[in-house]
Amino acid sequence: MKPLVYLALCALTTGLFAATEASPHPGYTFAEKYPSDATGKVYMGRYISHVMGHQGASWLERPGREHEEKPATLLDLMAIKPGEHIADIGVGSGYHTRRIAPLLGTEGVVYAVDIQPEMLTILQEGLAAEGITNVTSVLGEIDDPKLPAGRIDMAFMVDVYHEFSHPYEMIAALCDALKPGGRIIFVEYRKEDPTVPIKPSHKMTAAQVRQEMEPHPLEWVSTDSTSLPWQHVIVFRKTS
């Protein structure tokens, strides 16, 4: 290789690596001052919240959740069909997975994804107690749910998406896991409503959710902000 060509290629390669290291996804910025319930990382103008640790698993199973979130109503809105492959992202203690799995029949499966192995242990204990066997536990990563490509009919997140430290990468990976026409459902506390008694960084507006999905191969299907006491149910469909 001629010296000048080699030097030019080295300079180009060095420049590419420098740009990669210095330029995270353009949607991310970092704030010097931020709310105590947030991490300081900002995505499309939104403070990303802290993740709830496994120490708070009992809160997920609180008796008041039936009244506050109406999980049976949510199941109706999700329009689950027997035989589907469904991903519960941020499964936690399995509150929703334990309700969904029996609806899927012998051919259906729930992929129960969490980044905390302690949560998956709690999940398995609850599944064993109820004799539920069609759930596959998946230890995900902060930027990858570790799901099989093209296998998922529907992925859902209940009060979880706002905690993703890498929301762009996670949604991109979920899109890869979805079948053509597969759905992603976001259930988030309504930030538009100041009476919803949740910390601000743990709530999202419907407009913000839609904005953050624009870079992905998803089309908005519907937003229901009235059926649940405190939450939106926002549905998207994979377009390609």
What is the average pLDDT across 185-190?
98
pLDDT band at 166 (very low <50, low <70, confident <90, very high): very high
What is the average pLDDT across 223-235?
98
What is the average pLDDT across 7-27?
37
According to the model, what pLDDT value does residue 56 have?
A: 84
**Alpha helices, DSSP H only, in the chain?**
3-22, 57-60, 65-69, 71-78, 97-100, 117-130, 167-177, 206-213
Q: Which CATH superfamily is domain 51-238 in?
A: Vaccinia Virus protein VP39 (3.40.50.150)
Tell me which residue has tokens 């590419």. Answer: 16
How far is it, in rounded angstroms, from Cα 212 to Cα 4? 44
Percent residues over pLDDT 70 in the chain? 89
User: Exposed (0-12), middle (13-18) or buried (19+): which is 46, by Cβ within 10 Å?
Assistant: buried
For the cut 70, the answer to whether the pLDDT of residue 184 exceeds it is yes
According to the model, what pLDDT value does residue 26 have?
A: 53
pLDDT in tens, 24-37: 455 799 999 999 99
Mean pLDDT across the chain: 90
